[in-house]
Structure 1
Amino acid sequence: MIPLEPDKFHHGYNRANGNENIFKNKENYRFFLQQYKKYIVPLADTFCYCLMPNHFHFLFRIKSEPELKKLVDFPNSPAVEKFLSKGFSNFFSSYTQAFNKQQNRRGSLFMKNFKRKCIEKEDYLYNLIPYIHNNPVAAKLCEKAEDWEFSSYNSIISEKPTLLQREEILEYFDGRSNFISFHKKPNNDNFSC
């Protein structure tokens, strides 16, 4: 498993066990984001996300070690990774427990082991953002990225306050209009993670 490391970009994703959905209604999507804010925002800067009925994607950068040490003083680097992994574990567990109670179900909701890739190259990052936002389009759940309610696309192009790293994202794309037009390019369909 790829370790979560300070100052590194990660593409995090996972899906439901079997053919289940991890989101059954709008409140589930909202609660998942609320729990993400509670458990992950203190640990990582979020660049984009997309929540789909049976899976999710997040692009985040783990905060620097000095920022993390403000939360907990770590004796060494393995302790940092353990702390970060525990934060993600608590996030998924809190959502699963609430979802199971609401849906009157038992057991794990997500596939074992939260999947993640460390992103080293800027061009991969540049293509990953539209890939994440266009997931619902590829799944034929909507026609355009801006039509999907549970992604960060509309937050990035809006002027409303957000916890996303909007300015940095738009800087990668040389501005808002390039961000929008890049999401509409057909060659984004060929990108895979």
Structure 2
Amino acid sequence: MTRIAREKSQTGIYHIMLRGIDKRNIFINDSDYEKFIEYIKKAKEKIEFTVYAYCLMTNHVHLLLKTESEEIGDVIRRITVGYAQYHNIKNGRTGHLFENRFKSEPVDTDDYFLIVLPYIHQNPIKAGMVERIEDYKWSSYNATVGRPFSVS
């Protein structure tokens, strides 16, 4: 069966969602979250892209990215292949970590950008993990209000 082509963003900005296969956890402890962020940083050394927002949940990830010249698939592959290998070795497992293809939505207007940004940051509240957004450690929210940002 042929895959449907991904919708291209006119602005290069995408809302990306990665989910663990069978909705399994992809992050077990703090070192896993840290390692995923490290893979984002490593990808940024090789490929030009901007991280506007991220939220790492236990079984899924939201990213708001802008690609400059690379295909969005190449950016996500740079991040996820290494992390999946790390996760599988660490946890003595084999096979896919992430479910199917990642989901991507083009963000082609300022209005939509301003909808997606808080949606990403509010995930931990909606999941009942924290009461205040700023208390969630694995999100870029604090960077948007002038606190240190984890992914430079």
- Unpaired runs of 5+ residues, structure 2, are none
Per residue, is there more helix in 1 or in 2?
1
| In 1, Cα distance between equivalents of 2:132 and 2:7 | 34
**Compared CA separation, residues 118 and 162, structure 1 to 2 (3 A):** same
Residue type at the aligned position of 1:15 = R
- Give 2:49's aligned amino acid: A
Return the alpha-carbon distance in structure 1 between the equivalents of residues 139 and 107 of structure 2. 20
Deviation string for 1:5-41 (max 9, x for gaps)? 6841100111001141000000000000000111146
Corresponding position: 1:14 with 2:51: no
Shift of residue 163, structure 1, vs aligned partner: 4.8
Q: In structure 2, do the counterparts of structure 1 residues 125 and 87 end up closer, same or farther at CA, with 3 Å as the change threshold?
A: closer
Q: Would you say the 8 A contact 1:5–1:62 is kept in 2? A: no
Match of 2:66 among 61, 64, 71: 61
Q: What letter is aligned with 2:135?
A: D
Distance 2:107 2:10 in 1: 12
CA RMSD in angstroms comes to 2.1
Larger radius of gyration, structure 1 or 2? Answer: 1
State the SS of the aligned residue for 1:36.
Answer: helix
Percent identity (aligned): 30
Aligned to 2:93: 105
Q: Equivalent residue for 2:77?
A: 89
Higher relative contact order (CA 8 A, sep 6+): 2
2:33 maps to which of 22, 25, 29: 29
